[in-house]
Structure 1
Amino acid sequence: MAKRGRPTADERAARDDRVLDVAAALFLQDGFAAVTLDRVAADAEVTKRTLYTSFGDKHALLRAVVRRQHTYAAAPPTDLEATATAVCRALLADDAVALHRLVIAEATRSPDLAAEFHEAGPLAAQDALVRAGAAPDTVAELFTLLLGELHRRRLLGIAPAPTEADVRERAVRALALLGRG
């Protein structure tokens, strides 16, 4: 028999994670425009009302998927090297690269979606770097160095995901190039 009543905080968190997993998979499989909230709700086994209550509209759901990749952005700031490494790890990962491709593909049809992705992704990463000690006037350059040519190659599908050692080395090198290492 199904439990009745309001879910606990843990149950809501598990449900929201399931919804974000389903939404991310559907967005990547079918493209943003083809995915409906009805389909996300059905596949995640929740009501459409739950989606609107927990996330909002489809754009808000994609923002939540993107934000989830940036868990370091919501965490208390650590040292700059650790945050730079976390940014590299998150944004060079397969799922982040795939979502970036999706947004690029949709950008001309939905410039608002691209702007929302930029705010929830790259700008959130840069804000986390500043909170960890990066200079605000060079944080964009640091962000670019952290991703660089490897990110472009990942977007094109011609480079594998970096190892943990590669990620840390990128962060250390980027900080050193800006005189922060």
Structure 2
Amino acid sequence: MAMPTTKTPSPKKPTAKTLREGSTPKRTAILAAARELFLADGFDRTSVDAVAARAEVSKRTVYDYFGDKQTLLQAVVDGVGQSLISTIRRILDDTLTDPTEAADLEDVLVAFSMRIATDMLGSSEYVTLQRLVRAQSHHVPDGGENSMADAPEEALAERFAAFAEAGLLDVPDALLAADQFIALTFNVALNRFGSANAAEDARVRPLIVEGVRTFLRAYQAK
């Protein structure tokens, strides 16, 4: 996701070598260079020498900061994932403010969903995350997940719990409700069209609207 279907790598097991935090500008330059090269040339064909040259740092600096190429890949994926989480939280703050009337729920949930479908699922960051995870997942230790995997659902669950306290929703399990909301909206579009980018595909909005209505039939307080 990623939000609906994207999972990011689990942290690599610690090694005996202690990595340096180093200077922020150098770390940023290394990550930017690695991201560009992993996307353009793939993991296998990208060398640490090439990353160092593009970042204008020494090869030793790359190893001191990241340890090895797998850990560098993981750091790139995690950085993109955290950027997407920030986007999701901004959309939540912009759209899922506390409605005062039950009649407003459909409008705010559709507005939230459409923003996710355009600002997040339609973003270059999301495409980048998908490409990195799908193309490079066999190079990531354990092919696992990290803490961002459930972060969107947890953030949405917090809003649903607040709506329940206000008497607008009946959600005994807010996290389950968030999972089901995503399944009824974005995942339907992803499964049917292979994309949920509402900015490019007019078929996405009707699916989202119907998904929101189905969700409210199950969870809106009576």
Q: With structure 2 as the length reference, what TM-score do the two structures score?
A: 0.52
Letter in 1 for 2:54: D
**Quick one: distance in 2 between partners of 1:147 and 1:26?**
30
Q: For structure 2, which runs of at least 5 residues remain unmatched after alignment?
A: 1-22, 97-108, 162-173
Q: Which residue of 2 aligns with 1:147?
A: 186
Secondary structure of the equivalent of 2:130? helix
**Quick one: distance in 1 between partners of 2:41 and 2:214?**
40
Q: Please, which of 44, 53, 62 is the counterpart of residue 77 of structure 2?
A: 62
Q: Which residue of 1 aligns with 2:151?
A: 124
- Equivalences for residues 162-173 of structure 1 within 5 A: 162-163=198-199, 171-173=208-210
**Cα gap change, 1:87/1:103 in structure 2, threshold over 3 Å: closer, same or farther?**
same
Whether the 8 Å contact between 1:24 and 1:65 is mirrored in structure 2 is no
**Residues 59-118 of structure 1: per-residue CA shift (max 9 Å, x gap):** 1222112222332345495243355444333134354235324423444554634423xx
**Quick one: distance in 2 between partners of 1:32 and 1:138?**
38
Q: Which residue of 1 aligns with 2:211?
A: 174
- Equivalences for residues 65-104 of structure 1 within 5 A: 65-73=80-88, 75=90, 77-78=92-93, 79-80=95-96, 81=109, 83-88=112-117, 89-104=119-134
User: Percent identical across equivalent pairs?
Assistant: 25
CA offset at residue 139 of structure 1? 1.5
Alignment: residue pair count = 165
4+ runs deviating over 6 angstroms: none
Q: Please, which of 26, 29, 38 is the counterpart of residue 27 of structure 1?
A: 38
**Quick one: distance in 2 between partners of 1:164 and 1:171?**
14
**Quick one: distance in 1 between partners of 2:48 and 2:114?**
34
Larger relative contact order (CA 8 Å, sep ≥ 6): 2
Higher Rg: 2
Q: For structure 1, which runs of at least 5 residues remain unmatched after alignment?
A: 1-6
Whether the 8 Å contact between 1:104 and 1:114 is mirrored in structure 2 is no
Whether the 8 Å contact between 1:22 and 1:44 is mirrored in structure 2 is yes
**Cα gap change, 1:52/1:153 in structure 2, threshold over 3 Å: closer, same or farther?**
farther
**Cα gap change, 1:76/1:153 in structure 2, threshold over 3 Å: closer, same or farther?**
closer
